[in-house]
Amino acid sequence: MAVDVVQEIKLRTDLVELISVYVPLRRSGRTHKGLCPFHAEKTPSFHVDGERGFFRCYGCGVGGDCFTFLQQKEGLAFNEAGEMLARRLGLEWVRRGDTAEKRSERERLYDMMALAQRFFRERLKDAPVAQKYLERRGLAPETVEAFGLGYAPPGYQALLGWLKGQKIAPEEAEAADLILRGEHGLRDRFVDRLMFPIFDLEGRPVAFGGRALQADAIPKYLNSRELPIFHKGRTLYGLHVAKQEIPKSGFAVAVEGYMDVIALHQAGIVNAVASLGTAITEQHVGVLRRYSDELVFCYDGDSAGMRAATKNSSLFEAAGCNVRVARLPEGDDPDTFVQKHGADAFRSLLTQAEPLLDYQLNTLRAGYDLTDETKRLGFVREAARIVAQSSSSLTRQAYAAKLERTLEMMVDEWYPGQPDQAQRARLALNQEVRRLLRSDGGAPAGGGHPTNGRVMGRGPTTSGPRVQPPAPVRSGQGAEERYVLRAALSEDRWADRVSEQLTVAHFSDSNLVGVAAKLLSEEGDAAGSAPQRADAVKADPELAGVVSELLMDEAPLNDEGLDRCLEGLERAWKRSRKLELWRAYNAGEFLPEDPRREELRRLSAELEGRQRREA
């Protein structure tokens, strides 16, 4: 089984030896110590626990196991690190979760894609029209080569016939979505199209985007469907190259199209990637974050992609990702811009990129006719809503102040030579900003919007049940969350209890939510028993940092402690839920028959009863 290979690698890899290749380590008690290879420091705060296979830096906070170490140090994907570690030990690497069958299915898909890429590339050589097209679009032959571009010939039978000649079963190509089975039998899926292979992190072609050569063809791009080796929500075009550059330049550039990525790379801007015609997802952000937590969007301002990015802006904040937006002149995309004005001009657009929140506010303002008195309030409301989406109370305060300053300046323009009226308007608008931020932000003393990592944008609250009631962080709660997770990860019976009594909604510490989500996931029976899920959490490379930190904490655990923490978390959840319901109620969101009325009554009664007993 695949997980066993992971475990065996962890067990048998000598972490001290592995890390010593990068940085000298010295024994210090039970563990080893050295200068952190992930940040510059003069006194060693990097610890390696060789016995237990964990490392952690108390300076910069990185931590994990042999997998995480290689992934972060070498910029590898989990499977690449696995392959490398397995080789060192003379083991065969099997991709996690693969059965023998699935493995061969995937292997066959990889082979088919590689074969098809060769085919398309060869065909480009005999296709002067396609070559001219690429030339007209300013792509140098080396660029075409580097991105493996190709051409799918016309005629509906080109690939099919070639496969026949190669004695390859068409079913193989059908499984890879390269051949279609229709009423009239089999035919090529990509016909008379320029072919953009889409590579995975390891640089293997896993799908294709096919662009029509005619300007008015529909669809302009035809993309492979989802396949076991290709997931649109996770794949970023160009990342197999950009992953080297992103950590060096300190940020990634997100653009919309294949052509944008290619043109930028050709111009020497090698940290650009594109999602595949879909909005940036939480998973994309998770992948990008491995390389940098700074992201610059360079999208068409009117595009669906940009709208999705601004609508889900809290997604980035939740992931700890800092997003800025670079504006292009009307009518340009990164491709046309860089071809016209060159790399330096593009770089200066990047340096001028504004923080996402500023971008949202500026865009909003441009959309309102603020000379119209009745529209002003609408603007203020909408602006406050945007600001209130931020989970950081510092950010909210800073932007509320900024908004007030902006309004003050505008007011002077609206009422030239009428200081009294200007003053009245100023007060009214500022009051409105504060009122809105208070009621929407609703931050109970020192709290803030919870970012439990899963609530994607608050959006306009609708009635109807919320799947993820947020839980405002209150002091001490983080400690309880840690305690229960440490318990669940260390003993099976505690894992059972925790998963019986808690849901993800009980967790508010953004560092821990990922662990809780996996441990408490209720994805059918497939997820297995709680102890099994706890093992899965420990084997999850994405969570290795937090998990190692939790496991290295040696404070004692016991049943009484767990009871106390479970009770505390339940109470905290009820309080925050009650608060949330009150907020919705006060905002007039409850319908007459709303079931939340009953829930609110019940919660209030329970919590009051409890307080009385406590008193």
Measure the CA–CA gap between 399 and 395, rounded to whole angstroms. Answer: 6
Residue 509 touches which of Mn ion, ligand GTP, none (CB < 5 to 8 A by kind)? none
In the complex, minimum distance from the CB of residue 280 to ligand GTP, in angstroms, rounded to a whole number: 12
Measure the CA–CA gap between 469 and 466, rounded to whole angstroms. Answer: 6
**Which of 148, 150, 257, 450 is in the footprint of ligand GTP by CB under 6 A?**
257
276 lies in the site for ligand GTP, by CB under 6 A: yes
DSSP run (H or E) holding 144: helix 141-146
Measure the CA–CA gap between 217 and 221, rounded to whole angstroms. Answer: 9
Which of 44/257 has CB closer to Mn ion? 257
177 lies in the site for ligand GTP, by CB under 6 A: no
Which of 207/411 has CB closer to ligand GTP? 207
Which of 304/591 has CB closer to ligand GTP? 304
197 lies in the site for ligand GTP, by CB under 6 A: no
298 lies in the site for ligand GTP, by CB under 6 A: no
Whole-angstrom CA distances from 91 to 7, 18, 81, 94, 579 are 12, 16, 13, 9, 54
DSSP run (H or E) holding 125: helix 100-125
Distance linking the first and last C-alpha atoms of the chain: 55
Q: Which two tokens stand for residue 265?
A: 């790379």
258 lies in the site for ligand GTP, by CB under 6 A: yes
Which of 49/335 has CB closer to ligand GTP? 335
211 lies in the site for ligand GTP, by CB under 6 A: yes
Q: Which two tokens stand for residue 451?
A: 């970012």
543 lies in the site for Mn ion, by CB under 5 A: no
- Which residue has the closest beta carbon to Mn ion? 333
- Which residue has the closest beta carbon to ligand GTP? 257
Q: Which burial class, exposed, middle or buried, applies to 219 when counting CB atoms under 10 A from its CB (0-12, 13-18, 19+)? A: exposed
* Ranges within 407-446 binding ligand GTP (CB under 6 A): none
**Which of 24, 61, 203, 219 is in the footprint of ligand GTP by CB under 6 A?**
219
* Ranges within 311-350 binding ligand GTP (CB under 6 A): 333, 335
Q: Which burial class, exposed, middle or buried, applies to 450 when counting CB atoms under 10 A from its CB (0-12, 13-18, 19+)? A: buried
Measure the CA–CA gap between 120 and 113, rounded to whole angstroms. Answer: 10
333 lies in the site for Mn ion, by CB under 5 A: yes
Residue found under tokens 């004695």: 167
In the complex, minimum distance from the CB of residue 599 to ligand GTP, in angstroms, rounded to a whole number: 43
Which of 333/540 has CB closer to Mn ion? 333
**Which of 221, 415, 582, 590 is in the footprint of ligand GTP by CB under 6 A?**
221
Measure the CA–CA gap between 111 and 107, rounded to whole angstroms. Answer: 6
In the complex, minimum distance from the CB of residue 149 to ligand GTP, in angstroms, rounded to a whole number: 12
Q: Identify whether the C-beta of residue 272 lies closer than 8 Å to the C-beta of residue 253.
A: yes
In the complex, minimum distance from the CB of residue 140 to ligand GTP, in angstroms, rounded to a whole number: 16
Measure the CA–CA gap between 415 and 338, rounded to whole angstroms. Answer: 43
**Part of the chain binding ligand GTP (CB under 6 A), chosen from 252-260, 283-291, 559-567, 575-583:** 252-260
209 lies in the site for ligand GTP, by CB under 6 A: yes
Concatenated DSSP letters of 246-266: HHHHT-EEEES-HHHHHHHHH
In the complex, minimum distance from the CB of residue 192 to ligand GTP, in angstroms, rounded to a whole number: 15
Report DSSP state, residue 36: -
277 lies in the site for ligand GTP, by CB under 6 A: yes
Which of 53/209 has CB closer to ligand GTP? 209
Alpha helices in 52-99, H assignment, sequence order = 66-74, 78-89
| Contacts (Cβ under 8 Å, ≥6 apart) of 566 | 484, 497, 498, 501, 502
In the complex, minimum distance from the CB of residue 129 to Mn ion, in angstroms, rounded to a whole number: 19
134 lies in the site for ligand GTP, by CB under 6 A: no
CA 544, 81, 243, 229 dihedral sign is negative
223 lies in the site for ligand GTP, by CB under 6 A: yes
Which of 300/509 has CB closer to Mn ion? 300
Which string of b and e fits 237-263 if b means at least 16 CB within 10 Å? bbbbbbbebbbebebbbbbbbbbbbbb
In the complex, minimum distance from the CB of residue 297 to ligand GTP, in angstroms, rounded to a whole number: 13
In the complex, minimum distance from the CB of residue 371 to ligand GTP, in angstroms, rounded to a whole number: 35
Residue 459 touches which of ligand GTP, Mn ion, none (CB < 5 to 8 A by kind)? none
Which string of b and e fits 379-388 if b means at least 16 CB within 10 Å? bbebbbbbbb
**Part of the chain binding ligand GTP (CB under 6 A), chosen from 27-35, 52-60, 256-264, 513-521:** 256-264
Which of 19/124 has CB closer to ligand GTP? 124
* Ranges within 244-263 binding Mn ion (CB under 5 A): 257, 259
Measure the CA–CA gap between 147 and 139, rounded to whole angstroms. Answer: 11
Alpha helices in 442-586, H assignment, sequence order = 477-490, 492-501, 510-519, 530-539, 544-552, 559-586
Residue 219 touches which of ligand GTP, Mn ion, none (CB < 5 to 8 A by kind)? ligand GTP
270 lies in the site for Mn ion, by CB under 5 A: no
294 lies in the site for ligand GTP, by CB under 6 A: no
259 lies in the site for ligand GTP, by CB under 6 A: yes
200 lies in the site for ligand GTP, by CB under 6 A: no
In the complex, minimum distance from the CB of residue 81 to Mn ion, in angstroms, rounded to a whole number: 35
In the complex, minimum distance from the CB of residue 263 to Mn ion, in angstroms, rounded to a whole number: 8
Whole-angstrom CA distances from 249 to 36, 243, 246, 272 are 21, 10, 5, 11
Binding site for Mn ion (CB under 5 A): 257, 259, 333, 335
Write out the residues near ligand GTP by the rule CB under 6 A: 209, 211, 219-221, 223, 256-260, 276-277, 333, 335
